[in-house]
Structure 1
Amino acid sequence: MTQRLPPSLTPLDTALAALLHGLAPVTPVELPLAAAAGCIAAGMQLLPACPPRDIAAADGWALRANDLVGASSYTPVPLTELPVWVEVGDTMPTECDCVLDAGAVEVSGPLVLVLAEGVPGQGVARSGSDIAENAPAATAGYPVDPAALLLARVAGADRLSVRRPRLRIVNVPGATATIHMIADIARAAGLDVSAHEAGSRDAASIAEALDVSSCDLLLTTGGSGVGRADAAIAALVQCGAQLAHGLALQPGRTAAAGRLGKVPVVALPGSPGQALAVWLALALPLVDRLSARQSRRTVTLPLGYKIASTVGIAEIALLVEEHKTWIPLAVGEWPLHAIARADAWLLIPASHEGFAAGEPADAYLMRE
């Protein structure tokens, strides 16, 4: 039986609210640092102070600044014994609080002269100066970035607590480029991605791949339309999914959203542009909820040109930044060159007629 869209499309807000209803964040897991990169930090893993004690930050002579007041090449300060020579990373000797360059100390037999003053902390890395005692390795609710990994490695941590939702993607043959795009984006967002290909485009073959026993979110790519060979929605329904097929969203009108058992499911169209729009509008909020991610930031700039939108349909516009303004690249339909060039995206609510030129627009960045 050929798939059909219902007489009325489901509003985007309605579909998203149904997907998010009762959805809780996944349980945190501890992952090796390399695997934790890009995932959303969970909890507040605390690090020891680094360095754990005062260490030399320069090669030179370890001294006490109070002993060197007034020292210069004209009025050298004599020492009763040779000071300790330290190199970068060495623990500072007791009571020493500065490191002077090699040329600042003159040694002639038993005579030791200091030719320069020192300042407390000069050439010294204080205890906790790189990482304060009990500082978090990464802030909960935000991605584990290279800076967080650096802190963890310097402090000697080899694992981090993160939330890493498991995503299963089932591709309907014919949407190969789209599944690779979505899988790449999902991995960059810190998800544990498992990608599968249905045996063929018929409902029975697609249904065989719709296993939600070991995933937190299920996506399908392709086969959500009303063509004679489209059967993704029929396959989901055959497996017992409760779906809203046909969304008041452009691009992405033929997408579907709902639940298969307790697992949220989103059926993405096979077109890369439409699939990406549905990912941004529906799948990304699910990912953020499952990851307990803090709200994504927006960048507010005035629009360089007017954006017109149809009331009753939520639309997503692609934007590029030029001269501190947002310039619309594509609205409604997204050619690949616009996707490649876009800096941000803007959701135009279904109740909105668009935006006037010069009006401030709160846009989400395509790449954070």
Structure 2
Amino acid sequence: MTQRLPLSLTSLDVARQMLCGGLQPVAPRDVLLADALGCVAAEMAATEPFPPRDIATLDGWAFAARDLVGASSYAPLAMAAAPCWVEAGDAMPQDCDCVVDADVVDAFGPLVQVTAEAIPGQGVRRAGSDIAGGGALVAAGHPIRSLDLVRARGAGYTSISVRRPSLRLIDMPTTKKRDLTVHLIAELAQAAGTMVTRGDTASLRGDASDLLITIGGTGVGRGDATVLALAQSGVVLAHGIALQPGRTTAIGINENIPVIALPGAPDQALAAWWTLALPMVDHLALRVSRPMVTLPLARKIASGVGVAEIALLRQTNATWMPLAVGDLSLDAIASADAWCAIPAGSEGFAAGAVVDAYLLKSCD
């Protein structure tokens, strides 16, 4: 039997308004640094300078540089008092501002002699040189990177304040297994900074998550009962989104929790994740923005009017090279550097047109 699409398609903008209207961001919470990567930073108190005082960066003898003026191997400088030995990471002794190597100090005779000069700051990390202090460790609304966690651990933090939405992922029972898509969405959700839990159809009732996402069963085949299950436990806001791929996506509300029912095919679920679920996650976490790059198209993109189409792009010679439009193979998804949504009212973009696209690959 040929599958029929929902007769009425809801635009992406309207669907997003239905989902986000009146929805409040989640409250900040402290999470361990090991769990913070990718989460969106909440407001934080100003940091203290780090290190809090000057520390040695190498093993050696601590001096005041002014006391070593004129010292050389030809004219060793005798010291009135024995110097202080420090090791890397030690706090510098009072009135000392440099560390010299052990081999330029003769401390084994009756007199301590130094055979080289030094400059202030030699072998020393100044107080506040790693973290100046006075500002937030990570600006609110920005995702926490591994490089941010280096600073946090260096400053002695064990936890950090984030806005981390909880997301319940439900694999709907259908006649076909959806493991590929379930793993894909779970990994994307975790990378977006959510706390992902897995559930079954019983999770549609009495769930305390911030967002429910179902996988599979959104079509009109004999085994597709997701929309019916949502209608029985909550409210279906729309079934059928003007999106290609992903037309059979449905959205709803269950006990005041927004629900996005993603199709079971990977490319359809991915398109709906990018255009509906990810904006919801960002809204809940108060994320500032997602990285975009603006480049001209290497060749034209054709699109049908009335449905927003997803285009996958690869960056080539400072241009966007279209890889796929509307029908996204796994090879194209894995090869893409970015994606964009062609508006429903557009017939596409001409070659050379400047296009904003969301990056798929980033690094710290």
Classify the TM-score, shorter chain. Answer: over 0.9
> Cα deviation per residue 1:183-233 (whole Å; 9 max; x = unaligned)?
111112121112124xxxxxxxx4x44135311111111111122221111
Are 1:302 and 2:296 counterparts? yes
Structure 1 segment 211-230 matched on structure 2, within 5 A: 211-230=205-224
- How many Å separate the matches in 2 of 1:346 and 1:70? 66
Counterpart in the other structure of 2:185: 182
CA contact (8 A) 2:205 2:233 kept: no
- The structure-2 alpha-carbon separation of the partners of 1:234 and 1:222, relative to structure 1 and needing over 3 Å to count, comes to same
Counterpart in the other structure of 1:196: 199
> Cα deviation per residue 1:301-322 (whole Å; 9 max; x = unaligned)?
2222211111221111111222
Counterpart in the other structure of 2:112: 112
- How many Å separate the matches in 2 of 1:212 and 1:366? 34
Decide which moves more: 110-119 or 27-36. Answer: 110-119
> Cα deviation per residue 1:129-184 (whole Å; 9 max; x = unaligned)?
12223442322112222122222222222111111111112212322221111111
Counterpart in the other structure of 2:275: 281
CA contact (8 A) 1:222 1:232 kept: yes
Are 1:332 and 2:332 counterparts? no
Counterpart in the other structure of 1:269: 263
Counterpart in the other structure of 2:358: 364
- How many Å separate the matches in 1 of 2:99 and 2:172? 67
Shift in Å at residue 6 of structure 1? Answer: 4.6
- How many Å separate the matches in 1 of 2:361 and 2:261? 23
- How many Å separate the matches in 1 of 2:12 and 2:265? 19
TM (normalized to structure 2)?
0.92
Aligned residues with identical type, % of pairs: 56
Shift in Å at residue 33 of structure 1? Answer: 1.4
Counterpart in the other structure of 1:56: 56
- How many Å separate the matches in 2 of 1:252 and 1:128? 51
- How many Å separate the matches in 1 of 2:285 and 2:197? 17
Q: Provide the secondary structure at the position in 1 that maps to 2:242.
A: strand
Counterpart in the other structure of 1:203: none
- How many Å separate the matches in 1 of 2:90 and 2:130? 15
Counterpart in the other structure of 2:240: 246
Shift in Å at residue 56 of structure 1? Answer: 0.8
- How many Å separate the matches in 2 of 1:146 and 1:325? 30
CA contact (8 A) 2:205 2:254 kept: no
Q: Provide the secondary structure at the position in 2 that maps to 1:288.
A: helix
- How many Å separate the matches in 2 of 1:33 and 1:52? 21
- Which letter maps to 1:190? G
- How many Å separate the matches in 2 of 1:44 and 1:178? 36
Counterpart in the other structure of 1:159: 159
- How many Å separate the matches in 2 of 1:220 and 1:213? 13
Q: Provide the secondary structure at the position in 2 that maps to 1:234.
A: helix
Decide which moves more: 140-149 or 262-271. Answer: 140-149
Are 1:257 and 2:251 counterparts? yes
Q: Provide the secondary structure at the position in 1 that maps to 2:298.
A: coil
Counterpart in the other structure of 2:284: 290
Decide which moves more: 285-294 or 237-246. Answer: 237-246
Counterpart in the other structure of 2:123: 123
Taking only aligned residues, the RMSD between alpha carbons, in angstroms, comes to 2.0
Decide which moves more: 330-339 or 97-106. Answer: 97-106
Shift in Å at residue 107 of structure 1? Answer: 4.1
Are 1:41 and 2:47 counterparts? no
Match of 1:354 among 340, 345, 348: 348
- The structure-2 alpha-carbon separation of the partners of 1:315 and 1:212, relative to structure 1 and needing over 3 Å to count, comes to farther
- Which letter maps to 1:270? G
TM (normalized to structure 1)?
0.91
- Which letter maps to 1:158? T
Are 1:11 and 2:5 counterparts? no
- How many Å separate the matches in 1 of 2:171 and 2:311? 26
- How many Å separate the matches in 2 of 1:293 and 1:49? 27
Decide which moves more: 258-267 or 284-293. Answer: 258-267
- Which letter maps to 1:352? S
CA contact (8 A) 2:302 2:348 kept: yes
Aligned residues: 358
Q: Provide the secondary structure at the position in 2 that maps to 1:273.
A: helix
CA contact (8 A) 1:237 1:243 kept: no
Q: Which runs of 5 or more structure 1 residues have no equivalent in the other structure? A: 198-205
CA contact (8 A) 1:178 1:221 kept: yes
Q: Provide the secondary structure at the position in 2 that maps to 1:67.
A: helix
Shift in Å at residue 124 of structure 1? Answer: 0.6
- Which letter maps to 1:288? D
Shift in Å at residue 4 of structure 1? Answer: 6.8
CA contact (8 A) 2:167 2:210 kept: yes
CA contact (8 A) 2:302 2:349 kept: yes
Structure 1 segment 29-108 matched on structure 2, within 5 A: 29-107=29-107
- Which letter maps to 2:179? T
Shift in Å at residue 108 of structure 1? Answer: 6.0
Shift in Å at residue 363 of structure 1? Answer: 1.0
Counterpart in the other structure of 1:24: 24
Decide which moves more: 95-104 or 76-85. Answer: 76-85
Shift in Å at residue 72 of structure 1? Answer: 2.6
- How many Å separate the matches in 2 of 1:242 and 1:230? 15
